[in-house]
Structure 1
Amino acid sequence: MKISKQLNKLKNLNVEAEKCSTREEAKKIINKANKAQSKINK
């Protein structure tokens, strides 16, 4: 998978994180961001 695609996902997740209002939403965003980050680090 291309690194640029994962970086775009992280950027979008950052925007979502700023808008989230519940702890559950934040947990989901963190999990998605960790997954994208792990794909970049491979």
Structure 2
Amino acid sequence: MAKAFRAVTVSTLSNNGQSTPKYDKPVTLNVNYDPQGISIELLS
């Protein structure tokens, strides 16, 4: 079962360290882990 993180703010980070929002509104992250790896899904 996926672990859901709601109202996550996603930002980009420039070379000078400034953070800029990637999306206009918060997103939901669904995270699934299994022994072969991890998958992360962004939902708006």
TM-score (norm 1): 0.20
| Higher strand residue share | 2
* Bigger relative contact order, structure 1 or 2 (CA pairs below 8 A, ≥6 apart): 1
Question: Which of the pair has more CA radius of gyration?
Answer: 2
| Higher helix residue share | 1
